[in-house]
Amino acid sequence: MTLLLTLPALLLLALVFAVPLLRYGWLSFHADSVITGLQPVPNGGANWLRLIEDERFWQDTVQTLRFAGLSVALELLVGLALALLLHHSWRGRTALRTITLLPWALPTAVMALGWRWIFNDPYGPINALVQALGLPALPFLSSPASTWLVVVLADVWKTTPFVALLLLAGLQSIPTDLYEAFALEGGTPAQALRRITLPLLLPYAFLAVLFRLAQALGVFDLVQILTGGGPAGSTETLALYSYLSAMRFLDFGYSATVMLGMFVLLLGLTAVLLLGRRWLAGGRA
């Protein structure tokens, strides 16, 4: 009887999550593009063979991993510092928490454009500063070496508050008498951070990394609006590639294959994370 109460929600969940993935599995074994008149025609494993030989797919995989790796690492580091700062009790804490959370609350699409203007060459404020120092304006968004770093910066700016909040919840769950006992035995604050705070924070950090890594691998809005994947495809991610395959090249079969390729990558990384956590937990026990 009570199982019935869960049914409407579970049905919608199946429709939104399971049906698409099954559909991609089916589509990835079909040619469905302008060439076939947008009708699905079975093509054996041609899409998958193409995927394996597709340099653009592999380049995008590397670029996606590069983006996700650096962003999540920075978010974890800055987020930890921010969480420690927010954890201390003082008068302005609530206000500071609201303000730090603002970047997270605003639509990615909105600030993606904001960053484009901030790093504009030569009129943006960053380049105004650069020029005020007597240097020539820098082509932040038209050089492959720097553009992906701007994308990382924009992502770190937006999602660090979220990571900080998760870590803050972890900090607040640590009983204060642990620290008192540690101090009584002559431990310094730096040792307390390493021996008490960080180990107890691990489950929260793990959850934050899992969530952020999955989202960063699927980065789409930010890249589509900030760089469009450019310059010269240097910031194109897998999600953008599959989007372009479907919406610009009208190749639905291949787009579905790219998405499944990304899904496999995601599963692999999650497995590595889970194994890593088990190893870390085992190392402590």
Partner 1 sequence: MRFRRLAVLLVLLWSLLPLLWQLYTSLRTGSALISPQPGLSGWTLDNYRQILSGDPPFWRFLLNSTVVGLASTALTLLLAIPCAYGLQRQPARTRALLSGALLAAAVFPYVLLFLALLELARRFGLANHLLALSLPYAGLTLPLAVLLLGAAFRDLPPELEESALLEGLNTWQRLRWVLLPLIAPASASTGLLVFLFSWNEYPIALTWISRQELLTLPIAIARIAGSSVYTVPYGAFAAATVLGSLPLLALMVIFQKPIVAGLTQGAVK
103 binds partner 1 (CB under 8 A): yes
Beta strand segments in the chain, E = 30-31, 41-42
DSSP string covering 202-259: HHHHHHHHHHHHHHHHT--HHHHHHTTT-STTTT--HHHHHHHHHHTS--HHHHHHHH
Residue in 65, 116, 137, 277 binding partner 1, rule: CB under 8 A: 116
Q: Can you read off the two tokens belonging to residue 261?
A: 């390729």
Q: Which is nearer to partner 1, 88 or 185 (CB)?
A: 88
Single residue of 38, 109, 181, 264 touching partner 1 by CB under 8 A: 109
* Backbone angles phi and psi of 106, in degrees to 5: -75, 150
Nearer to partner 1 by Cβ, of 152 and 217: the residue is 217
The answer to whether the beta carbons of residues 130 and 138 sit under 8 Å apart is yes
Which of 6, 52, 135, 250 binds partner 1 (CB under 8 A)? It is: 6
Figure out which of the listed residues 34, 56, 77, 123 binds partner 1, where binding follows CB under 8 A. 123
Residue 31: phi and psi, rounded to 5, are -85, 125
Cβ proximity to partner 1: between 40 and 233 the closer is: 40
User: Residue 237 in contact with residue 225, Cβ under 8 Å?
Assistant: no
Write out the binding residues for partner 1, residues 129-188 only, by CB under 8 A. Answer: 157, 161-162, 165-166, 168-170, 173
Among 174-182, 191-199, 213-221, 274-282, the segment contacting partner 1 (CB under 8 A): 213-221
Q: Which of residues 253-282 bind partner 1 (CB under 8 A)?
A: 255-256, 259, 262-263, 266
Q: Cβ(42)–Cβ(262) under 8 Å?
A: no
**What does the alpha-carbon distance between residue 53 and residue 46 come to, in Å, rounded to a whole number?**
11
Among 38, 106, 181, 198, binds partner 1 (CB under 8 A): 106
Number of amino acids touching partner 1 (CB under 8 A): 83
Window 12-71: residues binding partner 1 (CB under 8 A): 12-13, 15-17, 19-21, 23-24
